[in-house]
Structure 1
């Protein structure tokens, strides 16, 4: 059996810039440099890069937290230190696959990896916010078994997005 054309690998100091660039060109949101730096040092943060034929094409970052602490805005969620108290959920903070490499199974492989990491931490729920206008992403998550929950008004307000509202989607694992 041959080697898979899709491979996952850990984030390192040497590929941190690749992670930043994938997010920058794929997502409508931006993250501060401190968020990227914390990706290397926090034990609650789980990050993986996806490679297609050895080219970096996707990335996911999630962290364990207590879902009673879901914040009402993107900025509060990214900067909160309260999220580290008694984790009972894994929150997907960023999930990106370069547009030309979508629909090749890369996102599915990254999500499967997060599901396994969630189980390894004895946590049984994954949560993600998705911008209300991102119907492709919402439908993709629903096909993967996520359930649409609450609408969070102005979640992405500080990001300056035209449609700042987001849905919370959850998956029981």
Structure 2
């Protein structure tokens, strides 16, 4: 269940400091400032944050960074327009409140507006909470990429067909 005071909205440039802090605190994969700027500039409508009000100030507690790509379908051999979930993170003290689920639901709805036929992401094979979240959203494991992460851990490629997308 989503905490009632959490708002999901499009990220803004003034959010970047908090977003980068969440990335650093939550994930072993840390991206450069320029990488975040690129996604916010070029795919801004697909870069979402979860925010709360704390002492009359907005606090970002989670984010999801996405982009659109053209590539081979994870469900066949055709070229397709795909949504790629690059990074999602929620501060540890705000996990298990439905924030990650809500960020992903909003992401899927945004991708549908762009006539995306599928959404995919990479996830560590040992990240069971994330894998379970994605399965709840009907993502399926389509392959394993050995040594995907810098520490040598494998990644699952998980993908979701968007049946509503037009061919």
TM-score normalised to the size of structure 1? Answer: 0.79
* Alignment coverage as a number of residue pairs: 151
Aligned residue in 1 for 2:153: 164
| Aligned match of 1:34 | 34
Asked whether the equivalents of residues 46 and 65 of structure 2 are also in contact (C-alpha less than 8 Å), the reply is: yes
More displaced, 11-20 or 57-66? 11-20
Deviation at 1:69, TM superposition (A): 8.9
- Equivalent positions of 1:66-145 (< 5 A) are 66-68=70-72, 88-145=81-138
Structure 1 residue ranges without an equivalent (≥5): 71-85
Could you tell which deviates more after superposition, 60-69 or 105-114? Answer: 60-69
User: 1:104 Cα deviation (Å)?
Assistant: 0.9
Q: Distance in 2 between matches of 1:94 and 1:35?
A: 11
Look up the SS of the partner of 1:9 in the other structure. Answer: strand
Structure 2: where are the runs of 5+ without partners?
A: 163-167
How far apart, CA to CA, are the structure 2 residues paired with 1:31 and 1:38?
Answer: 11
Greater strand content: 2
TM (normalized to structure 2)? 0.82
Structure 1 moving runs of 4+ over 4 Å: none
C-alpha displacement at 1:10, in angstroms?
2.2
Higher helix share: 1
